[in-house]
Amino acid sequence: MKRMADYSEAENRADALSLATMLNTTYASSKPVIVRVQGDAYAGGMGLVAVSDIAVASDNAHFCLSEAKLGLMPVTIAPYVIRAIGARRIATS
């Protein structure tokens, strides 16, 4: 996130498109996607967890929508996170 603060608008768009493409490709995969989380799954990492079919997390795993801490909407990963968690749970979290 710190590195992206110095990106131009075009670089930010390209970066977001790259993440969106990766998440959509993973979500649409006909193969099962299994993730193992050890440590932090922030921002795009949380998006990857959300698009997986099975997620296994260690006791030391932490999840965070870090964009929200900066006052930004995590729009690239939001559709997948909402689908994974459920709209009602998102609204009360």
Would you list the domain boundaries of the chain?
3-92
Tokens representing 57 are 């997390």
Tokens representing 36 are 């193992």
Q: What is the pTM of this model?
A: 0.80
Residue 63 pairs in a beta bridge with 41
Per-residue pLDDT of the chain (93 residues; tens, 9 = 90+): 667 778 888 998 898 899 999 999 999 999 999 999 999 999 889 999 999 999 999 999 999 888 888 788 888 899 999 899 887 777 665
For every residue of 23-61, DSSP letters joined together read HHHHHT-SS--EEEE-SEEETHHHHHHHH-SEEEE-TT-
Q: What is the pLDDT of residue 92?
A: 60
CATH code: domain 3-92 is: 3.90.226.10
Residue with tokens 């870090």: 66
